[in-house]
Chain A
Amino acid sequence: MSRITPRFAALKREDRGALIPFIEAWDPDAATSAALLRGLPAAGADLIEIGIPFTDPMADGPIVQAAGKRALRSGVNVRHVLAMVREFRREDDATPIVLMGYLNPILSYGVEGFCTDAAAAGVDGLIMVDLPTEEADMLVPQAAAHGIDIIRLVAPTTHDDRLPLVLQASSGFIYYVSIIGITGTRSTTAEHLAEAIPRIRRVSDLPIAVGFGVRSPAQAAEAVRVADAAVVGSALCSTIAANVGKPELVRSVLDQVRELAAGVRGARAHA
Chain B
Amino acid sequence: MNQLFGSNSLRNGPDGRGRFGEFGGRFVAETLMPLILEVEQAYLAARADPSFRTELDAYLKNYVGRPSALWFAERLTRHLGGARIYFKRDELNHTGSHKANNCMGQILLAKRMGKTRIIAETGAGQHGVATATMCALFGLPCTVYMGATDVTRQAPNVFRMKLLGAEVKPVTSGASTLKDAMNEALRDWVANVEDTYYLIGTVAGPHPYPMMVRDFQSVIGEEAKAQLHEAEGRLPDAAVACIGGGSNAMGLFHPFLDDPPVRLIGVEAGGHGIETGEHAASLTGGRPGVLHGNRTYLLQDDDGQIIEAHSISAGLDYPGIGPEHSWLHDIGRVEYVSATDEESLAAFQLCTRTEGIIPALEPAHALAHVTKLAPTMGKDQIILMNLCGRGDKDIFTVAEHLGVKL
Interface residue ranges, A against B (CB under 8 Å): 54-59, 61, 65, 72, 77-78, 102-109, 129-135, 152-159, 162, 166, 177, 180-182, 185-186
**16 extra interchain contacts, Cβ-Cβ under 8 A, other than A105-B305, A186-B191?**
A58-B190, A104-B306, A107-B288, A108-B289, A130-B29, A132-B28, A132-B29, A132-B33, A133-B33, A135-B27, A153-B29, A157-B34, A158-B33, A177-B29, A180-B193, A181-B190
Tell me which of B108-116, B129-137, B141-149, B179-187 binds A: B179-187
For B165, what are the chain A residues with a Cβ–Cβ distance below 8 Å?
A: none
Asked whether, in the complex, the Cβ of A59 is within 8 Å of the Cβ of B26, the reply is: no
Whether the Cβ atoms of B26 and A58 lie closer than 8 Å is: no
Contact partner, A157, options B31, B289, B290, Cβ 8 Å: B31
In the complex, number of A-B residue pairs with CB atoms less than 8 Å apart: 120
Residues from chain A with a CB closer than 8 A to the CB of B34 are 157-159, 162
A-B contact pairs, 25 of them (CB 8 A): A56-B179, A56-B306, A58-B187, A58-B190, A58-B292, A59-B190, A78-B303, A102-B290, A104-B291, A107-B289, A108-B300, A108-B302, A130-B28, A132-B26, A132-B30, A134-B17, A134-B26, A135-B25, A152-B30, A153-B30, A154-B30, A155-B30, A162-B33, A177-B30, A180-B31
The prevalent SS among residues of B at the interface is mixed
Task: Check A72 against B31 for contact (C-beta < 8 Å).
Answer: no
Known contacts A56-B174, A58-B186, A58-B187; is-contact A104 B304 (Cβ 8 Å): yes
B80 in the interface, Cβ–Cβ < 8 Å? no
Q: Which of B33, B35, B173, B293 contacts A65 (CB under 8 A)?
A: B173
Q: How many Å from the CB of B293 to the closest CB on chain A? A: 7
User: Could you tell me if A181 and B304 are in contact, using CB atoms closer than 8 angstroms?
Assistant: no
Q: Which residue of the partner chain B has the closest CB to A53?
A: B305
Contacting residues, chain A, for B31 (C-beta < 8 A): 59, 153, 155-157, 177, 180-181
Residue from the set B173, B187, B303, B306 with the largest chain A CB neighbour count within 10 Å? B303
Residues from chain A with Cβ under 8 Å of B289 in the complex: 104, 107-108
Q: A203–B30 Cα gap in the complex (Å)? A: 17
How many angstroms between the C-alpha atoms of A155 and B29 in the bound complex?
9
- What residues of A have a CB within 8 angstroms of the CB of B187 in the complex? 58-59, 61, 182
Provide the residues of chain B in CB contact with A159, threshold 8 Å: 34
CB distance from A244 to the nearest CB of B (A): 18
Tell me the residues in window 175-226 of chain B with beta carbons closer than 8 Å to chain A beta carbons.
Answer: 179, 183, 186-187, 190-194
Whether A108 pairs with B29 at a CB distance below 8 angstroms is: no
Cα(A94)–Cα(B198), bound, Å: 44
Report the minimal beta-carbon distance from B358 to chain A, rounded to whole angstroms.
34
What chain A residues lie within 8 Å of B27 (beta carbons)?
A: 103, 130-132, 135
